Amino acid sequence: MEDIKVAMLQLLPAGTAEGNLKKGLESCRKAREMGADIALFPEMWNCGYEIPEDPDRLRALAVPADGEFVDAYKKLAKELDMAIGITFLEAYEPMPRNTICLIDRHGEVVYTYAKVHTCDFGDESRLTPGDDFYVADLDTSKGTIKVGSMICYDREFPESARILMLKGAELLLVPNACPMEINRISQLRGRAYENMQGIVTVNYPEGQPDCNGHSTAFDGVAYLEEEGEWTGRDTLLTETGEEEGIYMADIPMEQIRDYRSREVHGNAYRHPSKYKLLISEEVREPFIREDSRR
């Protein structure tokens, strides 16, 4: 399989819902001209990651997963023969969700994922958390790949990428909206390493509140054989700067698949029967938080 080209749409919001839609569609067209197989947006693109305190205003910003906003990207994906990971504040009850729809090159939604690990210590306490992680076969012109998503804070829980690996994901598409620095980037490096997955994260650029660009792509291939010896390598494929732009990540799917077929990470040598505490609902000090939702 040829490398899968993922366009990282590190964009500034236009300031209005209509402007965001127009800019998003134009950016997808530019991404396709650059050779993209998949275009990925930062978190909650339709409203530029805005979460008002007023419930009525919050609901007014939300759009339905089967509404005109997503439909516009479905039509464009089919026209461009390119997959699109479109993000939005989703109209939902009792309150909106932080959502990504992955649309294939035929204009069909292959999964709709809502952020499981909402930031309940902040504005996202006003949103409804998602209830599961999803993996789907994504048909590309270069072949079929298994894709799943995390959203921003999901990255900080090893279980997110782990369950996606166990469900078969080879590539994770991760919308983001926060400052990306060495520790958060290291979390992504760790998730890619331990699950042998490609991970592409797209952040808002400098100029968006509390964001700084530094979108990244990792291939999860930690060791390569060179001249008969196995040597460690950085799994980072690309890291953008802070500036707005469309950046391309080439994901070496054939290399990832070969590596996964013989390396020791992922699900090769796990002992699930010894991990029963992981599904316990009990929380002890020092981790008790009054604002935590489970």
Find out whether the peptide bond into 13 is cis, omega within 30 degrees of 0: no
The per-residue pLDDT for 226 is 74
The per-residue pLDDT for 231 is 87
For residue 247, the tally of other CB atoms under 10 A from its CB is: 21
The per-residue pLDDT for 255 is 96
The per-residue pLDDT for 257 is 97
The per-residue pLDDT for 62 is 98
Nearest to 249 by CA among 217, 276, 226, 280: 217
Compute CA 126 distance to the chain's CA centroid, rounded to the nearest angstrom: 21
The per-residue pLDDT for 260 is 96
The per-residue pLDDT for 227 is 62
Measure the CA–CA gap between 160 and 135, rounded to whole angstroms.
12
**Residues 172, 13, 49, 20: what is their CA dihedral angle, to the nearest 10 degrees?**
-80
Measure the CA–CA gap between 102 and 135, rounded to whole angstroms.
10
Low-confidence ranges of the chain (pLDDT < 70): 227-228
Q: Measured between alpha carbons, how far apart are the two ends of the chain, in Å?
A: 41
The per-residue pLDDT for 178 is 98
Measure the CA–CA gap between 112 and 107, rounded to whole angstroms.
14
Q: What are the pLDDT digits (tens) for 235-255?
A: 999 999 999 999 999 999 999
The per-residue pLDDT for 225 is 78
Angle 91-95-97 (CA atoms, 0-180°, nearest 5)?
Answer: 55
The per-residue pLDDT for 201 is 98
